Amino acid sequence: MVDFSLTEADQRLQAVAHRENEIGRKYAREWDRNSENEPSRIRGIHPDVAGLESPHAALEREQEQTSGLVIAEALMDMVSATDVNLRDTGEDAFGSWMLNDYGTEEQKAKYGHVKLAIAITEPGAGSDPANMRTNARYDPATDEYVLNGEKVFISFFNKFDGAVTLMKGEPDGAGKTPFMTVVVTKDLPGVTEIPQFKKLGIRSHELSGFHLQDVRVPAIARLDADFGKTMSKFNHNRPLVAAHALAGARSMLDFTHARLAEAGLKVDYAKGRSARSANEDRLIRMEALWEAAWGTVMRAKWLEHQMGSESHGYRVEASVAKALGGKVVRQITQGCLEILGPEGLSEEYLAEKWFRDVRIADIYEGAGEIQRILIARALLGYKNELN
Amino acid sequence: MISFELSEEQQIVRSTMAEFGKTVLAPQARRLDTDSCIDDGVLAELWSTEIIQAQAEAVEEEAGSRSPVTNAIILEELGAADATLALAMASTMGFVQAIADQGSAEQRARLLGGFAGETFQAAAVAMMEPRFGFDVSRFQTKADKAGDDYIVRGVKAMVPLASRCSHFLVVAEADGAADAFIVPLDAAGVTVVEPKGALGLRALEMAEVAFDSVRVPSSMRLGEGNGADVQRIIDSARVGISSILAGLSRGVMEYVIPYTKERIVHGAPLAQKQAIAFNIADMHIDVEAMRWLNWRAAWALEARQPATRTAQLAYTYAGQQAMRIADDGLQAFGGHGFVKAHPLELWYRNARSLSVLEGAAGV
């Protein structure tokens, strides 16, 4: 049966996520201003939430009573803006997850104790990994790989010990260079970390990178995780990127509704277009964008719940959710700031921050254009004919 | 519990309607638009689906067996074939739903039987009024109490299949609030004005209907005692319209895909140009988004949850995006999109037409 009701557990979990966001709200401005320069301030579990069950733990505990684990996760993500992460516990070490999933026992023994980021993007190769220049050359004399190249926009690299790094191997007989995945740790000679990027938004999301110059790693550093495996988390993550940004847009809309209500405008969904002011009409259209994107996130997550996260059966729907979510959060936050007018620009409020924060959603984890290529290929029966 | 799972019955209805739309309705769309009339043969084929009859009969069985979600699914499939014929069904469905949903026992018993017969029987909610700036929050049609009766005065506009309707559900202001009155076509003072022709949905012969001091007994006030929940009728209509728009949009996309793959421009198929391929991707994204909005609003109606907001958002989104999809679809065909050899120009007219209607459908 088609059903859009939330279970009691879904609603409880949304409340837990919302509470955590509200607690963090008072640090939002300070962290926005400072965390790129002083990341040490955001380490560990913040005292304000030290005694509280984390949203993540609550989800684990309640998952049986939800609409589905991955559905509830997305519902929690969409509830309101998460301006700060009050629990820096290292769960964002995605490279370590990969080591755990694809590493041998020997590799886990060697690298299991270090925290690893995941490094894919390069200055000249973001959406187009075939352009990747970072490379590995095998040296049979020492049974080592020699690495050269540069990686940028690497989440949390500054705080971790290294990164699971995607690169090109040596050309095979046919001249093709295979992708390979290598564990790079910061202590190796020739690894140079670059400073944190200064960004438009999501400033408490730490982002840096590194250069590799004739870095020698033992052969054991190479993981049996090819590019496809590296990408396998995308189907799960893409709707969540949309969900996370939709949360920012939700807070922006709620803020805009509240401020306009103070100024005497309350949105009435009953009447028709001819009886609305321009601002009321725009707000309704932006609410429609938000709910449209919500539906596509739920659809992708419901399919994921049916098929299992590793399935590729919901990849088009994951791209749909990502593409629409990334688009609407731009339109909504731009539109709300226009409606709010000059007062909305002030750093006294978070509206200007949400406007900046959500912009990345249409870029990372596959830009909107990449999602559209993937969707169009599926619809048209194309592969590389469409680029 | 969030679920997109269709029941077995819904899956069957969906595939049956898709097939019916493709093989029976779609091939007639151009001819009907040209004739500006739906002939009896097509109406009989529509009636043979028994969709309307099922709405009327369901009341007798169990209150919960009429399903706005199922109806939203049906209207998307019919809309993908031809929006005009989808609205021919949805308009009557809107009337029957309102009676089944809100009518008194006496009204249901008296009226619904008229929609269980062998031949097509139209009826319509008469909501819109013929003036610029009309809005569903302000009706100039009035129903004034006169003893045990009401006197209905006003003119309604864009009533689908008006001259074929046995009844109208006239939305009028009574005692300062919107209310609804069941008025037979043959009541004294009811005049169906000669249709003037319209941009789109031409075969529906949408017409003005004038109510010149029509005397309506209190027993024909929808729901009798407490009067009608007009907002629920508006909400249901919005979901009906947006379901047809989702279908229309999907129809455009499905027509654009093979053409743009075959049409070679500057050495490569049109579909391999990002400007075209991205539009096609956006069509798909929006059709999906519309459908989930429609299902959600229909589910809210079905579950008797507050539905006004979700219905408005489904309607707003579908109206906005369907117009864009029809526009992009026409553009992809270039000159072929502008001429009547292809249905793009028809869909372009229908998309604009449908998305400004209020009250003319139901799920």
CB within 8 Å: B6 and A274: no
Residue B43 has pLDDT above 90, yes or no: yes
Q: Is residue B262 part of a domain?
A: yes
Report the alpha-carbon distance of residue B350 to residue B326 in Å, rounded: 9
Please tell me the predicted confidence (pLDDT) of residue A129.
Answer: 81
A288–B69: do the CB atoms touch at under 8 Å?
no
- For the stretch A97-123, pLDDT in tens is 889 989 999 999 999 999 999 999 999
Same domain (yes/no): B80, B131: no
How far is it, in rounded angstroms, from Cα A83 to Cα B337? 48
Is the pLDDT assigned to residue B141 strictly greater than 90? yes
Tell me how crowded residue A305 is: count the other CB atoms within 10 A of its CB: 20
CB A197 within 8 A of CB A208: yes
| B321 lies in some domain | yes
Confidence of residue A229 (pLDDT cuts 50, 70, 90): low
Q: What is the CATH number of the domain that holds A346?
A: 1.20.140.10
Above 60 in pLDDT, residue A254? yes
From A338's Cα to the closest Cα of chain B, the distance in A is 20
Q: Rounded to 10 degrees, what is the CA torsion of B360, B49, B74, A371?
A: -130
Q: What is the pLDDT of residue B59?
A: 59
Tell me whether residue A307 is in a domain. yes
| Chain A residues near residue B310 by CB distance under 8 angstroms | 291
CATH number at residue B12: 1.10.540.10
CB B344 within 8 A of CB B330: yes
How many domains is chain A partitioned into structurally?
3
Chain B CA closest to residue A282: B316
Per-residue pLDDT, averaged over A239-258, amounts to: 98
Residues 146-175 of B with CB under 8 A from A: none
Alpha-carbon distances, residue B333 vs A380, B46, B112, B256, B345 (angstroms)? 16, 31, 45, 8, 10
Chain B segment 75-104 residues within 8 A of A by beta carbon are none
Q: Is B192 left (phi over 0), alpha (psi -120 to 50) or beta?
A: beta
Under DSSP, is residue A189 helix (H, G, I), strand (E, B) or coil? coil
Q: Average pLDDT, whole number, for chain A?
A: 94
Residue B61 and residue B130 in one domain: no
To the nearest whole number, what is the mean pLDDT of chain B? Answer: 95
Residues A266 and A357 in one domain: yes
| Structural domain count of chain B | 3
Residue after which a domain boundary falls, among B204, B226, B248 = B226
Percentage of chain A exceeding pLDDT 70: 98
* Chain B environment of A292 (Cβ under 8 Å): 286, 289-290, 292-293, 313, 317
Domain holding B321: CATH number?
Answer: 1.20.140.10
In a domain, A176, yes or no: yes
Question: Dmax over Cα atoms in chain B, in whole Å?
Answer: 77
Nearest of A280, A292, A264 to residue A335 by alpha carbon: A280
Mean pLDDT, range A85-101, rounded to an integer: 89
Q: Which tens digits make up the pLDDT trace of B72-126?
A: 999 999 999 999 999 999 999 999 999 999 999 999 999 999 998 899 999 999 9
- Residue A386 C-alpha from the chain's centroid: 26
Which amino acid, residue B159? V
Chain B contact set for A2 (CB, 8 A)? 3-6, 10, 69, 295, 298-299
Cα separation, B47 vs B53, whole angstroms: 8
- Domain shared by A82 and A104, yes or no: no
Paired tokens of B363: 């799920």
Tokens at A374, concatenated: 């993937």
Chain A residues touching residue B312 (CB < 8 angstroms): 269-270, 284, 288
**Among B72, B123, B75, CA closest to B292:** B72
B241 touches chain A (CB under 8 A): no
Q: Please give the residue that has the higher pLDDT: either B246 or B60.
A: B246
Residue B190 and residue B220 in one domain = yes
pLDDT of residue A379: 98
- pLDDT 10s digits, A126-160: 878 889 999 999 999 999 999 999 999 999 999 99
Does residue B37 sit within a domain?
Answer: yes
- In the numeric block, which tokens belong to residue B89? 């069904």
Q: Point out the residue among B289, B305, B312 whose CB comes nearest to the CB of A292.
A: B289
Mean pLDDT of B214-223: 96
Q: pLDDT at position A90, please?
A: 77
Residues 6+ apart with CB under 8 A from A154: A117, A118, A119, A121, A163, A207, A208, A209, A210
Half-sphere exposure of A295 (CA within 13 A, CB side): 26
Judge if A245 and A133 occupy the same domain: no
Query: Are the C-beta atoms of B81 and B350 separated by less than 8 Å?
Result: no
Domain that includes residue B55, residue range: 8-120
Residues B67 and B154 in one domain: no
- B236: in domain: yes
Residues of chain A contacting residue B300, judged by C-beta atoms under 8 Å apart = 4
Last residue of a domain, one of A88, A104, A120: A88
What's the gap in Å between the CA of A342 and the closest CA on chain B? 28
Categorize the per-residue pLDDT at B58 as very low, low, confident or very high, splitting at 50, 70 and 90: low
Residues within 8 A of A (CB atoms), B 202-231 only: 231
A386 part of a folded domain: no
> Which residues lie across from A135 on neighbouring strands?
A148, A168
- Exposed e or buried b for every residue in B113-149, given b needs 16+ CB within 10 A? eebbeeebbbbbbbbbbbeeebebeebebebeeeeeb
Are B127 and B163 spatial neighbours (Cβ–Cβ below 8 Å)? no
Say if B360 falls within a structural domain: no
Domain coverage including residue A363: 232-380
Q: Which of residues 295-314 of B touch A (CB under 8 A)?
A: 295-296, 298-300, 303, 305, 308-310, 312-314
A329 inside domain: yes
